[in-house]
Amino acid sequence: MKKLINDPADVVVDALRGVAAAHPELRVDLENRIVVRGDAPVQSHVGVISGGGSGHEPLHGGFVGPGMLDAAVAGEVFTSPTPDQITAATTAVAGGAGVLHIVKNYTGDVLNFQLAAELADDEGIKVETVLVDDDVAVQDSLYTAGRRGTGGTVVVEKVSGALAATGADLDEVAAIGRRANQASRSFGIALTPCIVPAAGTPTFELGPDEIEIGIGIHGEPGRERRPIGPASELAAVATQAILDDGTLDRGDEALVIVNGMGGTPLIELYLVFGEVAKLLGDRGITVARRLVGNYVTSLEMSGFMLTLTKLDADLTRLWDAPVNTPGLHWGV
Amino acid sequence: MKKLINDPADVVVDALRGVAAAHPELRVDLENRIVVRGDAPVQSHVGVISGGGSGHEPLHGGFVGPGMLDAAVAGEVFTSPTPDQITAATTAVAGGAGVLHIVKNYTGDVLNFQLAAELADDEGIKVETVLVDDDVAVQDSLYTAGRRGTGGTVVVEKVSGALAATGADLDEVAAIGRRANQASRSFGIALTPCIVPAAGTPTFELGPDEIEIGIGIHGEPGRERRPIGPASELAAVATQAILDDGTLDRGDEALVIVNGMGGTPLIELYLVFGEVAKLLGDRGITVARRLVGNYVTSLEMSGFMLTLTKLDADLTRLWDAPVNTPGLHWGV
């Protein structure tokens, strides 16, 4: 295992030290391993938090800042954060209007965020939860009952944070988050596995020409393994899998995210984006907004995840709203 | 070779098709393989262009937009663009105030940009050139006489573009570019090689625990190979190599870039940033500005490149100036 780390046991806290040094506008609580907006809690605004296992950067810590998350909770690599950590983040962002938990659908995350929500309720903080389950690849999975939460998380975090910034109430912010999740579908393809530092060995094995179709962001198995084909074919597989799920029709406008899993060069991600744009154009679907790069990663895994969100006027406006975070920054 | 490509011969043009689809605010000329600001040429402003071999994305195409480059020229992967391509970009951004060429110091790039500058001169376009040679690792190299141009290119492109945006004249814009280059030093470490699509095999070989100290952005050899150590040690090697070059002293302010080479997870880059910040703090050098992520890559190579720029009031102001490109975006 060759990684830029010190002790594998300290990876998350060492990286958070770097986040603290790099982003003086954020507060990093090393003990609780949470990243918080420097001006939190914003009084009378809904606090929006998310979190999960580390190893998916910039998700979630890189999306903390005005217009997106108020705080992020970092678990160990590919491991859910504890209820105590989540409670610390919830308390840190509670400005009197309640707190939204955005939770990717993994069994551990769901359980621990639920416990934290109950603890917050005991302290008089009202919590609503949006469960993200956008991955169409498989129904149940290694760590999930139901669909997994993957690339769509970026969309849910962005639009929820944007609405919270307007002073909307907790029910409204939760509703837009749920709507963004409902409108989003994702599908991933892996070319190589990744190595969790504490384990030291690849999460799975693939042959020299073999790829995994429908991969999860922790290397959970997808639909099938097959020999690699041209990017045009892989783009078509991912696009078709999402369209088969029936959210997007001719005449619709889509937000298209071609997300790298961490180890794929940007030149390849743009190439895939070009293929996806062509396929959607052929179906009469307009690429109205787009994002190409590493947003929800799986350490150094190579491959891509396609996320398509059906846009409406509200989602488009909230997607376009100013955001100022290390991982997404525009309009301000 | 597992890559998200179609025909290896078409990688660059296929990727540029994706750039065109993803960024309607840019003009992509597929025939000349250049990326141009949508509103170029900006009348009475100096045009700022750069370019070089592809495979270093987001450099250079991802830095085209208001406040940075007016155009970028994409050669084949790791191969200089032709004089004709460079001339096309020069002409496209010539608004009557001359054009600045920012050229990384590689023999092919230097020669072809020089030929293009002469062709432009024949057409009545005044061209000045800033040569970037910030890499302290080696004196001469596989493709270079003198030091190589690497991570400092981002700084040169940013401050030159920012000054051009104020309406400064060609001599002034060239002077600030040269000053940014003089103030910048870089040093890279590779953990793994990369594969050029047309070649299909790794550019070099490293053992399972071996790293290359002082690597170039095309995998050119550095100073030595050695077994991997903890990130704190690797950060110290890179930091010391730059400080030994004598640009930064106690009391100085630095821009610190921890740049990924393409295949390293962001969590590791932040971890390295934390180590570098600590080392600089111990030397009494203030980390005044910073950037952590993939900016000058080497396809999917894993490892990092450290760039330190000694800041003064002008460089800081120009670094902070608004920029709106796919790869860097702030303040607007």
The active-site residue, picked from B23, B45, B56, B60, is: B56
**CA A144 to CA B277: how far, in whole Å?**
39
The answer to the question of residue A222 being in a domain is: yes
- A126 CA to chain B: closest CA distance, Å? 32
With a CB cutoff of 8 Å and minimum separation 6, the contacts of B282 are none
Q: What's the pLDDT tens digit per position in B77-113?
A: 999 999 999 999 999 999 999 999 999 999 999 999 9
The number of distinct structural domains making up chain A is 2
Q: Are residues B278 and B301 in the same domain?
A: yes
pLDDT on residue B190:
97
- Do residues B273 and B292 touch, judged by C-beta distance below 8 A? yes
Question: Does A268 contact B at CB distance below 8 Å?
Answer: yes
Which of A141, A164, A183 is where one domain is finished? A183
Percentage, residues of chain B above pLDDT 70: 100
Asked whether residue A21 falls in the same domain as residue A170, the answer is yes
Q: How confident is the model at residue A66 (pLDDT cuts 50, 70, 90)?
A: very high
The CATH code of the domain that includes B136 is: 3.40.50.10440
For residue B103, give Cα distances in angstroms to A105, A109, B110, B117: 48, 49, 7, 12
Same domain for B71 and B110: yes
Q: Are residues A14 and A134 in the same domain?
A: yes
User: Do A109 and A253 fall into the same domain?
Assistant: no
Over residues A166-179, mean pLDDT: 98
Quote the DSSP letter at residue A69. B
A167 & A202 share domain: no
What are the two backbone dihedrals, phi and then psi, of residue B75, each rounded to the nearest 5 degrees?
Answer: -75, 175
State the complex-level ipTM: 0.98
Residues B171, B74 share a domain:
yes
Quick one: DSSP state of residue B9? G
Give yes or no for residue B214 having a pLDDT over 70.
yes
Q: Is B45 a known active-site residue? A: no
Asked if B39 and B148 sit in the same domain, the reply is yes
Of B183, B216, B246, the last residue of a domain is B183
Query: CB-CB: which of A4, A268, A290 is closest to B271?
Result: A4
Average pLDDT over residues B198-203: 93
Q: Is A60 a catalytic residue?
A: no
Position A144 in a domain: yes
B236 CB near a chain A CB, below 8 Å? no
In a domain, B330, yes or no: no
Q: Whose CA is closest to A125, among A143, A153, A157, A100? A: A100
Looking at the fold, whether B262 and B217 belong to one and the same domain comes out as yes
Pairwise CA distance, residues B182 & B197, whole Å:
34
Q: Which domain holds residue A113?
A: 10-183
| Selection from A81, A80, A301 nearest residue A203 by Cα | A301
Domain end, chosen from B149, B183, B217, is at B183
Size of interface A-B (CB pairs under 8 A): 190
Tokens of residue B60, six digits: 């250079």
Residue B331 included in any domain: no
Please check whether residue A264 touches B, CB under 8 A: yes
And the tokens for A144?
């999930």
Q: Out of A140-144, A301-305, B96-100, B235-239, which region has the weakest mean confidence (pLDDT)?
A: A140-144
Residues A142 and A39 occupy one common structural domain: yes
Q: What is the pTM assigned to this prediction?
A: 0.98
Report the DSSP pairing between strands A47-54 and A71-77: parallel
What CA–CA distance (Å, rounded) separates B130 from A140? Answer: 56
A263/B302 Cβ within 8 A? yes
Contacts of B23 (CB under 8 A, 6+ apart): B326
Q: Please tell me which of the candidates A22, A211, A273 has its beta carbon nearest to residue B273.
A: A22
Long-range CB contacts (< 8 A, 24+ apart) of A316-321? A316/A253, A316/A255, A316/A288, A316/A289, A318/A158, A318/A159, A318/A162, A318/A163, A318/A176, A319/A155, A319/A158, A319/A159, A319/A162, A319/A255, A319/A289, A320/A289, A321/A67, A321/A162, A321/A165
Query: Do residues B123 and B267 share a domain?
Result: no
pLDDT, mean of residues B51-67: 98
Instruction: Give yes or no: residues A49 and A171 share one domain.
Output: yes
Q: Mean pLDDT of all residues in chain B?
A: 97
Task: Please state, for a pLDDT cut of 70, what percent of chain A lies above it.
Answer: 100
Tens of pLDDT, residues B173-198: 999 999 999 999 999 999 999 999 99
Q: What is the CATH number of the domain that holds B215?
A: 3.30.1180.20
Structure tokens given for A322: 């100013």
Give the pLDDT band of residue A139 (cuts 50, 70, 90).
confident
Q: Taking CA A252 as the corner, what is the angle to CA A251 and CA A258, rounded to the nearest 5 degrees?
A: 125
Does a structural domain hold residue A127? yes
Q: What is the pLDDT of residue A279?
A: 98
Tell me what pLDDT residue B273 has. Answer: 98
The pLDDT value recorded for residue B93 is 98
Q: Check CB contact of A302 with chain B, cutoff 8 Å.
A: yes
